[in-house]
Chain A
């Protein structure tokens, strides 16, 4: 698939919280159609001298009709701060689409469980929408510390059932995602997860123990995003491979995690 580096106009900006913002970028429909759920972009944080490298951000959602690509950004440092300060009408220097993306099931009518923790819920919206459009049954399982960590609830509800856990029980069930009752109630064919590493390891353990096919999306630190620098590697059964090109999505069978 061809990759592009171009300046994309910001056409929408919504703060979900003081430290979470959704940016909508204008992208032509024919390019959006090439994007696979789970792919990411590399953004240049401009108007700041202390941020050197581009920042990898997942593609949150694509809206082909309105020609928009959404990014959900968690402000945790200078790069994401600078990106969040960009306004509608400005453009962002964007390298995209990067990485492999999630697998679309070959069989029809699959039961899909999409788990997102923290900002890791970002790619699940677009993935869930694509799965629902193909007739699969989508269940989202979103985890956070508190209710304010559960973002885009209404958007997720458009594409499937939304289950929630919070560590303090202020929304949904209390506990971690792997403790949610939906796991015992239903048999899922595939699980996809993105979030903090401990969460993904717990999900991977659950999936391995129950023999459910499972993909996780990794967030290794990156420089080029193109498979050229070999900085982002993950140790896999095939040796060290680049997360930016052979990932960010990996089947857990490919990873050398202690499950």
Chain B
């Protein structure tokens, strides 16, 4: 048994495996398949200050080795979360993180402030990278100024661990990472989905209600890995890596490229118990390779 515990700022994870927002519901949807307490943590669905209905159907299209979605942050709003969902999450012996989204820095800050009051939520992940809503999300994540403005506003209102989730739909993800680090982010997570499209040629129509969507799954994995590797060299704060992770080997690639922890997203749809297999697999790999502490492989890529 290798030592798998890691820290993200003040947040202690019993192992580096978390689940990605929007792909794991509120955790309890997976309770029949997963011992949630064994996870390093799970990140619940994107939450906004006010309720959102999300985009119209169809919201999903399958692609080669992945899928596109344009869910558009459907959620019942932060107050509903605090009142009705949070009480169902407090007894888990793992880190439950909330993914926070908004359409203005003030929105983000107000939402973060409400979550800050919840004792059993030790950290938030700030989603400045949702490609599926017009009025915000990614709009902030694609410029250094936009990203900085949101992080600045939230940092004032939120004093627990703040992870900022970066968009890959940018020219230089390292510039954005440096900008949010400068505003006091405790960590960055990457990547959110890559903006994409799919067409039904018989109907001459996009397969998605709003035309475009966010690509996820194994097909984005090499792009995500490259970005984690670049960002790891650009910032001093911890990195949470994600994008197409399906196996322990995939997760270890991210750790070697400099991620301190990982998130598993779309793979939960293929195998709802995948997270348990990844945790066991990391353990087995470490044992087989004489790795006693997971830190020995974090950022341990040879030149």
Contact = CB atoms under 8 A, between A and B. Distances in A.
Interface in A220-247: 220-235, 239-240
Interface string B36-59: 000000000100000001101111
B280 to A, nearest CB: 16
Contacts of A224: 23, 29, 268-269, 272
Contacts of B291: none
Nearest to B66: A52
Given A5-B271, A226-B30, A220 B62 contact: no
Interface string B59-83: 1101111110101001000000000
A222 B60 CA distance: 8
A227 B271 contact: no
A200 to B, nearest CB: 15
B270 A54 contact: yes
Contact of B57 (A220, A225, A228): A220
A2 B31 CA distance: 9
Nearest to B265: A229
A52 B217 CA distance: 9
Interface of B: 22-25, 29-30, 32-33, 45, 53-54, 56-60, 62-67, 69, 71, 74, 217, 266, 268-273
Contacts of B59: 230-233
Given A224-B272, A228-B30, 15 more contacts: A2-B32, A52-B217, A220-B58, A221-B58, A223-B60, A223-B69, A226-B30, A226-B272, A228-B25, A231-B59, A231-B60, A232-B59, A234-B57, A235-B57, A240-B57
Contacts of B29: 224, 226-228
A257 interface: no
A45 to B, nearest CB: 11
Interface centre among B32, B67, B71, B269 (most CB of A within 10 A): B269
A36 interface: no
A153 interface: no
- Kindly name the residue among A3, A5, A224, A225 whose own CB sees the greatest number of chain B CB atoms within 10 A: A224
Given A52-B67, A229-B69, A239 B25 contact: no
Chain B contact surface mostly = loop
Contacts of B69: 223, 229, 231
Given A52-B65, A231-B60, A5 B272 contact: yes
B30 A52 contact: no
Interface string A1-12: 011110000000
A220 B32 CA distance: 24
A53 B67 contact: yes
A230 B57 contact: no
Contacts of A233: 54, 57, 59, 74
Interface of A: 2-5, 44, 50-54, 95, 220-235, 239-240
18 contacts: A3-B33, A5-B272, A5-B273, A50-B64, A53-B67, A54-B270, A221-B58, A223-B60, A226-B272, A227-B29, A229-B269, A230-B71, A232-B57, A232-B59, A234-B57, A235-B57, A240-B53, A240-B54
B57 A53 contact: no
Contact of A221 (B22, B60, B270, B272): B60
Nearest to A243: B57
Nearest to B24: A228
B25 A227 contact: yes
A217 B277 CA distance: 34
A228 B53 contact: no
A50, A95, A224, A231: residue with the most chain B Cβ atoms closer than 10 Å: A231
A232 B64 CA distance: 20
Contacts of A232: 57, 59-60
Contacts of B270: 44, 52-54
Contacts of B269: 53-54, 223-225, 228-229
A25 B220 CA distance: 35
B69 to A, nearest CB: 6
A240 B32 contact: no
A217 B32 CA distance: 25
A239 B53 contact: yes
Contacts of B58: 220-221
B73 to A, nearest CB: 9
A35 to B, nearest CB: 15
Which A-B residue pairs are the 9 nearest by beta carbons?
A: A228-B25, A231-B60, A224-B269, A3-B32, A228-B29, A231-B59, A226-B29, A223-B269, A230-B71
